[in-house]
Chain A
Amino acid sequence: MQKSNVIYHLIIAAIFILLEVAALNMLRNNGRLQNIWISKCTHAVMGTVWGSSQEVKQYFSLKTRNAALAQDNHDLRVRLAELEAMISDGGTAGKSVPSDGIAGGFRYTPATIVKISNNTQHNYIIIGKGSDDGITKGSGVITGKGAIGVIDAVSDNYSYARSFKNHEMNISARLGKEGAVGPMSWDGFSSAGAILKEIPHHVEFQPGDTVYTSGYSSIFPADIPLGTVGEAKIVNGATYDIKVTLFEDYGALRYVTVVDNLGKDEIKKLEEDER
């Protein structure tokens, strides 16, 4: 009963539209002003409809576009690392363009996060690339806005990374690009809070200064922006503990880059030999 009622109303609507279109078409052909006005209205309606359909189409293609942008990001990051290496080597290293995403002594691999934990004291990330893609244990996970974690375990197609939001995790960070270096760790409760420790008392800084990776660890390349400086307090009368507001929003993470220091085994061996 209801279905036939709906069909009847649809028929009425269709006939109404049909008759109105026929009448307006006759009117359009008989009045110059009406012709211009109706054409204008028609174009406006068509523009709106077309615009809306394009928006819907764009919405459904966002996944592909995001993947393409992530790839572009990765390419740019590699290119940036190449240029930085070229500058530090006095313009000679860049003459041979590295391949396979290798630049500045690091291999860069774009990856997608398949699972992330953010609400515990021991957070982790699982990414959709594993040993088959060249990912190795001890590699870093970064984005353009921070160092996200360190790979702890690798399977053929997936990797398990300890998130920076983890009590056992420290990153070597630098105040500004030329400033003092200290370990930075998650503050343990806020989603975007971290603490930069062991900054010498004499070092000058301002709230709002940017904190970067130092490049002193064998995991992360130097100069990845991590966050901005907030309040500071003196600890034991000798060093500052500085609050840092992280740039990266861990709740919205989707695309990351895995960085693998190609010389990390050599560095590790050297360290072990010296001990």
Chain B
Amino acid sequence: MKTGGNFTFLYCLMLLCQIVLCNFSPFGPYIVLTMLPAMIFCMPLSISMISCMFIAFGSGLAVDWLSEGLIGINAASLVPVALARKSIVKMFFGEDLITRGDSFSFNKFGTAKVSAALMSAIAIFLLFYVMLDGAGTRPMWFNLAYFGASLVCNWLLALLVTHLLTPDDRK
């Protein structure tokens, strides 16, 4: 219960950080920095997919409303991450984790596996984000560069977020 409370508190705190990050991004329009896919990915597996999608939608919308940018873009990009979350977990950590309602951590699965899973979640987010941001006006090379650079930066950010949000690593 305490863990759940801690998670909610940390989640809200990170959401605020994300809003600040969106308003004062040091990279301008060339890299998108976001903690949102990692935050959704680190949600306890006991939370159902439907609830997770609503939380993702609400979080994305909150960031969109309270930061400069296109309203709806984060929400539209984050809901697919929530949808794919359990599939990614199943793919990288096995189905047992979902059955037990347990959580993953660096200690249990190692940095490589957790990183790969995070990269997948971020890639899904960026795929939608880059596509919707460009709206078919940008050349493919720019979109690929935008996607690649953002993927690397967000992976580093996601490692930090995961370290803070996963229970075993906070002990």
Whether B79 contacts A23 by the Cβ 8 Å rule is: yes
B80 proximity list for chain A (CB < 8 A): 16, 20
Assuming the contacts A16-B53, A16-B83, A19-B53, asked whether A34 and B70 have C-beta atoms less than 8 A apart, the reply is: yes
| Cβ contact of B132, chosen from A25, A27, A40, cutoff 8 A | A27
Whether B72 contacts A19 by the Cβ 8 Å rule is: no
A12 to chain B minimum Cβ distance, whole angstroms, is 6
B81 to chain A minimum Cβ distance, whole angstroms, is 11
Does A37 touch B at the CB level, under 8 Å? yes
Assuming the contacts A12-B83, A16-B53, A19-B57, asked whether A24 and B135 have C-beta atoms less than 8 A apart, the reply is: no
Residues in B43-61 with C-beta less than 8 Å from chain A:
49-50, 53-54, 57, 60-61
A24 proximity list for chain B (CB < 8 A): 72, 76, 132
Does B71 touch A at the CB level, under 8 Å? yes
Rounded to whole angstroms, the CA-CA distance of A16 and B60 in the bound complex is 14
A34 proximity list for chain B (CB < 8 A): 70, 132, 135
Rounded to whole angstroms, the CA-CA distance of A30 and B73 in the bound complex is 10
What 1/0 mask marks residues of chain A from 4 to 22 whose CB sits below 8 Å from any chain B CB?
A: 0000000110011001101
B64 proximity list for chain A (CB < 8 A): 26
Residues in A19-48 with C-beta less than 8 Å from chain B:
19-20, 22-31, 33-34, 36-38, 40
What 1/0 mask marks residues of chain B from 63 to 89 whose CB sits below 8 Å from any chain A CB?
A: 010000011110110011001000000
B110 proximity list for chain A (CB < 8 A): none
A15 proximity list for chain B (CB < 8 A): 50, 53-54
Rounded to whole angstroms, the CA-CA distance of A16 and B135 in the bound complex is 21
B45 to chain A minimum Cβ distance, whole angstroms, is 16
B107 proximity list for chain A (CB < 8 A): none
Q: Count A/B pairs, Cβ under 8 Å.
A: 64
Assuming the contacts A19-B57, A33-B137, A37-B136, asked whether A27 and B73 have C-beta atoms less than 8 A apart, the reply is: yes
Q: In the complex, what residue of chain A is closest to B50 when comparing beta carbons?
A: A15
A55 to chain B minimum Cβ distance, whole angstroms, is 27
Rounded to whole angstroms, the CA-CA distance of A26 and B83 in the bound complex is 20
B135 proximity list for chain A (CB < 8 A): 31, 33-34, 36-38
Assuming the contacts A15-B50, A19-B53, asked whether A27 and B76 have C-beta atoms less than 8 A apart, the reply is: yes
A23 proximity list for chain B (CB < 8 A): 57, 60-61, 72-73, 75-76, 79
Rounded to whole angstroms, the CA-CA distance of A38 and B135 in the bound complex is 8
A158 to chain B minimum Cβ distance, whole angstroms, is 61
Whether A11 contacts B70 by the Cβ 8 Å rule is: no
B130 to chain A minimum Cβ distance, whole angstroms, is 13
B49 proximity list for chain A (CB < 8 A): 12
A213 to chain B minimum Cβ distance, whole angstroms, is 62
Whether B50 contacts A27 by the Cβ 8 Å rule is: no
Assuming the contacts A12-B49, A19-B79, asked whether A27 and B72 have C-beta atoms less than 8 A apart, the reply is: yes
Q: In the complex, what residue of chain A is closest to B56 when comparing beta carbons?
A: A19
Q: In the complex, what residue of chain A is closest to B64 when comparing beta carbons?
A: A26
Rounded to whole angstroms, the CA-CA distance of A36 and B135 in the bound complex is 8
For B57, B76, B80, which residue has the most chain A Cβ atoms within 10 angstroms?
Answer: B76
Whether A16 contacts B73 by the Cβ 8 Å rule is: no
A22 proximity list for chain B (CB < 8 A): 57, 72, 75
Closest 3 CB pairs of A and B: A26-B72, A27-B72, A23-B76
Q: Which residues of A contact B (CB under 8 A)?
A: 11-12, 15-16, 19-20, 22-31, 33-34, 36-38, 40
13 A/B residue pairs, CB under 8 Å, sorted by A: A11-B50, A12-B49, A16-B80, A19-B53, A20-B80, A22-B57, A26-B61, A26-B64, A27-B132, A29-B71, A31-B70, A36-B135, A37-B135
Q: Which residues of B contact A (CB under 8 A)?
A: 49-50, 53-54, 57, 60-61, 64, 70-73, 75-76, 79-80, 83, 132, 135-137
- List 14 additional contacts besides A24-B132, A26-B64; criterion CB under 8 Å: A15-B54, A19-B53, A20-B80, A22-B57, A23-B75, A26-B61, A26-B72, A26-B75, A28-B72, A29-B71, A30-B71, A34-B135, A36-B135, A37-B135
